[in-house]
Structure 1
Amino acid sequence: MKQFNVTYVEALRDNRVIASFYDNSSNGYGSLGKVGLTATPKVFRKLVDELVIPKVVPLEGNKVTKLSSALLDGFECYYGTEAGNMVYVCFSPVNVPKILPLRILTELKSMTNESDQELDSHVRAIVQNFHEELLSYHDSSTAEATEQDMQEIIQLMNDNIDKFLQRQERVSLLVDRTSKLNQSSYNFKRKAVRIKTKMWWQNVKMCSAITAVTALVGTTVFLAVHYV
């Protein structure tokens, strides 16, 4: 049976890399459009830093988001967030079942991934369990499952996951827009308070000036009447 694997996984805390996983056993590496750079760890690192992290929207629970835009030819990008400003990013070849990167990102959240060795071990263990489950499906079938049967099942699974991820992305966008709206509202409120305070002080200064001028005029008139 065909073996599947993701190509790159990165764990970040406070937008700083704490561990990364890279596997180049899959065929069909992509390139950065006209630039023609091969999909190396350095390229993935640059993509995460410049194009993925700015789009990350923290979501509670075991939610995984797929970026709708293709960052690298032949690859799909997924990310998940966790409490403590943790972000997990995964690049997976397009021919890999979509359930695999989702499963990796979900299960990594319950594991300690403070080094490349730990992350590598965990990712490979998750991938191994995934293949064992596929093999068990072969063994438990009443009819002998062919490679074509498996591909049809994977395609059906991918279609369902795509629909789920599209809804998830809309949720992420909604959360992001709501957060920005709340921030804009908060900034507007602070600005309004500052303007109100500034206007109050201007009124105080004006009243003080009028009072001082009135007192000065009154004093001048009083002196003029009594001493001139």
Structure 2
Amino acid sequence: MEAAATVLKLVLLRAEPKTIIQMGSFVYHTLFIDGITYLCASDNALDTVTPSAFLKNVSETFLRNPLMSQEHFSPSNAVATDFQQVLGKYMMKYNKNQEDSLISALKSQVTDVKNVMTQNIDKILEREERLNIFTDRTDDLQTTAKESQKTRKILGRIWWKHFKKITVITMAILLSVIIILLSTNVIPT
């Protein structure tokens, strides 16, 4: 009650149609219409829509009451009792709506997280696929390099064999020519 009294004093000093004041663990919402201040407290600092709608409906219902249209309104016990039932109904309605909106907000957050996780998994799978392609290409290049080395070794062996044959044949031809030239005395001995 002390907090409500403090909030009402602050609201009267500010003289604004709507105010939101946080005190302790509660957020106090006020609505000032036709000289009457409507006040409610909530424990959810993030939700300002629900308390504002609650206060608007309460004020409209209160002002529609025939006893309120009298020039000098003085709340009687009968009016207070009737209005307690109205307040109770609105409180049930808006608390249920708030729970539903919290559940909806949580579901929305879960859906958002799920979507982000799905996107991240898709990106990871794409990266893995590209990495597999890169790995396959690397393996192919390594295989090609090994085959190329083997081919070079084989070509090197073949070249040496041909070089040896050509060298032997060239030496044989030169030796034959020298022998022929020596036997025909073209080259004096």
Is TM (by shorter chain) over 0.5? yes
Query: Residues of 1 paired with 2:117 and 2:20: CA distance?
Result: 37
Q: Does 1:148 align with 2:77?
A: yes
Contact 1:30 1:75 in 2 (8 A): no
Unaligned runs of 5+ in 1: 1-26, 32-36, 48-68, 82-88, 91-97, 105-125, 140-145
Query: Residues of 2 paired with 1:211 and 1:181: CA distance?
Result: 44
Query: Residues of 1 paired with 2:130 and 2:6: CA distance?
Result: 65
Unaligned runs of 5+ in 2: 30-38, 158-189
Q: What is residue 57 of structure 2 aligned with on the other side?
A: 103
Aligned residues, how many? 133
Q: Which runs of 4+ in 1 moved over 4 A?
A: 39-42, 44-47, 136-139
Q: What is residue 152 of structure 2 aligned with on the other side?
A: 223
Query: Residues of 2 paired with 1:214 and 1:205: CA distance?
Result: 14
Query: Residues of 2 paired with 1:203 and 1:221: CA distance?
Result: 27
Contact 1:30 1:38 in 2 (8 A): yes
Query: Residues of 2 paired with 1:216 and 1:204: CA distance?
Result: 18
Q: What is residue 80 of structure 1 aligned with on the other side?
A: 49
Give the counterpart letter for 1:71 in structure 2: V
Query: Residues of 2 paired with 1:226 and 1:135: CA distance?
Result: 112
Contact 1:29 1:38 in 2 (8 A): yes
Contact 2:28 2:41 in 1 (8 A): yes
Give the counterpart letter for 1:212 in structure 2: L
> How big is the alpha-carbon RMSD for the aligned residues of Structure 1 and Structure 2?
3.9
Q: What is residue 70 of structure 1 aligned with on the other side?
A: 26
Query: Residues of 2 paired with 1:210 and 1:217: CA distance?
Result: 11
Report the CA distance shift for 1:46/1:135 in structure 2 as closer, same or farther (over 3 A).
closer
Report the CA distance shift for 1:201/1:46 in structure 2 as closer, same or farther (over 3 A).
farther
Give the counterpart letter for 1:135 in structure 2: P
Give 1 or 2: higher helix fraction.
2
Which SS does the other structure have where 1:71 is aligned? Answer: strand
Q: Please identify the structure whose Cα radius of gyration is greater.
A: 2
Aligned-residue offset at 1:197: 0.9
Which SS does the other structure have where 2:26 is aligned? Answer: coil
Contact 1:70 1:76 in 2 (8 A): yes
Q: How does 1:186-197 map to 2 (within 5 A)?
A: 186-197=115-126
TM-score if structure 1 supplies the norm length? Answer: 0.47
Query: Residues of 1 paired with 2:98 and 2:105: CA distance?
Result: 10
Q: What is residue 174 of structure 2 aligned with on the other side?
A: none
Give the counterpart letter for 2:7 in structure 1: G
Q: How does 1:1-228 map to 2 (within 5 A)?
A: 28-30=5-7, 38-39=10-11, 44=19, 70-72=26-28, 75-76=40-41, 79-80=48-49, 90=52, 101-103=55-57, 131=63, 133-135=64-66, 147-228=76-157
Deviations 1:110-155 (A, max 9, x none): xxxxxxxxxxxxxxxx76x953x2226889xxxxxx7111100000
Query: Residues of 2 paired with 1:213 and 1:46: CA distance?
Result: 72
